[in-house]
Amino acid sequence: MHSGIACVAAPCICPPGARAKTPSNSCASPEGHRDSSRPYQPRFSAPLSAFRLNLRHPLFFALYSRMQIHIKVILPGFSRARKNAGAQGLRTPAEVFLELARRHSAAARKPEDFALNAAGRVTNKKRTHSMNDNILLQTSGMQIATRSGKPLTLRGVGLGGWMNMENFITGYPATESLQRKALQKALGNDGYRLYFDRFLDVFFGDGDAAFLASLGLNCVRLPVNYRHFEDDMKPFEFKEEGFLLLDRAIERCARHGVYTVIDLHALPGFQNQHWHSDNPTHWAFFWSHKHFQDRVVHLWEELARRYRDNPWVAGYNPINEPGDASGTALYPFYERLHEAMRGIDQNHILFLDGNRYSTAFDIFREVWPNTIYTCHDYGLPGFVDGGDYPGVSRGQFVDRDVLERTFLQRTEYMRRTKTPIWVGEFGPVYTGDESKDEMRYRLLVDQLEIYRKHGASWSIWTYKDIGLQGLVYADPASPYMQRIRPVLEKKARLGVDAWGSTDAGVRHIMRPIEETFRREFPDFQPFPWGQDSWVKVLVRHILLAEPLVDDFERCFQGLGGEQVITLADSFRLESCIRRQRLLDILRADTARF
Which residues have a catalytic role annotated?
Answer: 321, 425
Question: Rounded distance, CA 67 to CA 593, Å?
Answer: 38
SS (H, E, C) 48-83: CCCCEEECCCHHHHHHHHHHCCCHHHHCCHHHHHHH
Radius of gyration of the chain (CA): 25
Could you write out the DSSP letters of every residue in 448-475? HHHHHHTT-EEEES-SEESSSS-SEEE-
Distance CA 57, CA 15 (A): 13
Q: Which of 499, 554, 549, 533 is nearest to 174 (CA)?
A: 549
CA distance 558 to 517: 45
Dist. CA 146–CA 84, nearest whole Å: 47
DSSP codes of every residue in 112-144: GGHHHH------SSS------TTT-EEEETTEE
CA–CA distance, 224 with 277 (Å, rounded to integer): 10
Buried b (16+ CB within 10 A) or exposed e, 250-273: bbbbbbbebbbbbbbbbbbbbbbb
Burial (0-12, 13-18, 19+ Cβ within 10 Å), 145? middle
The neighbouring-strand residues paired with 146 are 137
Q: Which of 545, 349, 376, 565 is nearest to 462 (CA)?
A: 376
Q: How many other β-carbons are positioned within 10 Å of the β-carbon of residue 460?
A: 25
Judge whether 337 and 292 are in contact, CB under 8 Å.
no
From CA 257, how far away is CA 61, in angstroms rounded? 30
Report the C-alpha gap between 122 and 124 in whole angstroms. Answer: 6
Structural contact between residues 527 and 325, judged by C-beta atoms closer than 8 angstroms: yes
Task: Classify 244 as helix, strand or coil.
Answer: helix
Environment class of residue 36 by beta-carbon count within 10 Å: exposed (0-12), middle (13-18) or buried (19+)? exposed
